[in-house]
């Protein structure tokens, strides 16, 4: 298991000085610690095939994005088993996102809804990013439009973003 906290802390739930500092500096959250602990537990019980890893998480309302540079199928599990276990235990809808370029992140966020495009609208007071999704795919989103929009803003690191249904 690879996480923003060390394995010893993930296993015990008791933080070493280094991990404690990360928590105090808001580099990690309580959910990161909980998630890392659950992944360790799942590895011990051999409920995960391969090595699970994540870089960071983003929580928006009941949605938890888990960003990983590692193997996505490992974190999702066969038939979604891993992601379901995590969702139940964290009491959040867990969404695994590849920690890479913004477009790929958006596709992971909205799947199985389709991405028609990402447009940049140039405005004098700052450019606006438009994420365009087919209207008929709205019901396929894992959360309501407002939550998905907030999550996309946090992925982009910018509030000038809107989701447009077309
Ligand atoms: Zn530690």
Query: What average pLDDT does the segment 10-36 reach?
Result: 95
9 CA distance to ligand 1 centroid (A)? 4
28 CA distance to ligand 1 centroid (A)? 11
- For residue 165, is pLDDT > 90? yes
Which residue spans within the chain are E strands per DSSP? 56-60, 63-68, 93-98, 117-121, 128-133, 161-165
DSSP structure class, residue 147 = H
- For residue 8, is pLDDT > 90? yes
- For residue 130, is pLDDT > 90? yes
75 CA distance to ligand 1 centroid (A)? 22
Residue 159 pLDDT: 93
At a CB cut-off of 8 Å and minimum separation 6, what does 111 contact? none
Query: What average pLDDT does the segment 6-23 reach?
Result: 95
The string of pLDDT tens digits covering residues 46-86 is: 999 889 999 999 999 999 999 999 999 999 999 999 999 99
The environment of the single-atom ion ligand 1, i.e. residues with CB closer than 5 A, is 6, 9, 16, 19
Q: Which of 43, 3, 4 is closest to 26 using CA atoms?
A: 4
- For residue 134, is pLDDT > 90? yes
Chain centroid to Cα 20, Å, comes to 22
- For residue 89, is pLDDT > 90? yes
95 CA distance to ligand 1 centroid (A)? 25
- φ, ψ (nearest 5 deg) of residue 103: -60, -45
Domain regions of the chain by residue span: 102-166
DSSP structure class, residue 93 = E
18 CA distance to ligand 1 centroid (A)? 6
Thinking of the domain 102-166, which architecture would CATH place it in?
2-Layer Sandwich (3.30)
Residue 125 pLDDT: 87
């Amino acid at each position: 298991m690879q996480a923003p906290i060390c394995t010893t802390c993930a296993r015990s739930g008791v933080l070493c000085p280094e991990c404690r500092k990360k928590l105090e500096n808001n580099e990690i959250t309580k959910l990161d610690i909980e998630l890392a602990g659950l992944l360790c537990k799942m590895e011990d019980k051999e409920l995960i095939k391969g090595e699970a890893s994540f870089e960071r998480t983003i929580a928006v309302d009941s949605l938890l994005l888990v960003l990983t540079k590692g193997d996505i199928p490992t974190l999702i599990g066969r038939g979604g088993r891993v992601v379901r276990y995590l969702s139940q235990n964290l009491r959040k809808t867990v969404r695994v996102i590849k920690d890479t370029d913004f477009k790929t992140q958006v596709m992971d966020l909205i799947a199985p809804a389709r991405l028609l495009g990402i447009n940049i609208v140039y405005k004098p007071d700052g450019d606006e990013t438009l994420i365009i999704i087919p209207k008929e795919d709205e019901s396929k989103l894992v959360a309501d439009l407002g939550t998905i929009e907030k999550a996309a803003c946090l992925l982009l690191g910018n509030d000038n973003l809107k989701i447009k249904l077309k």
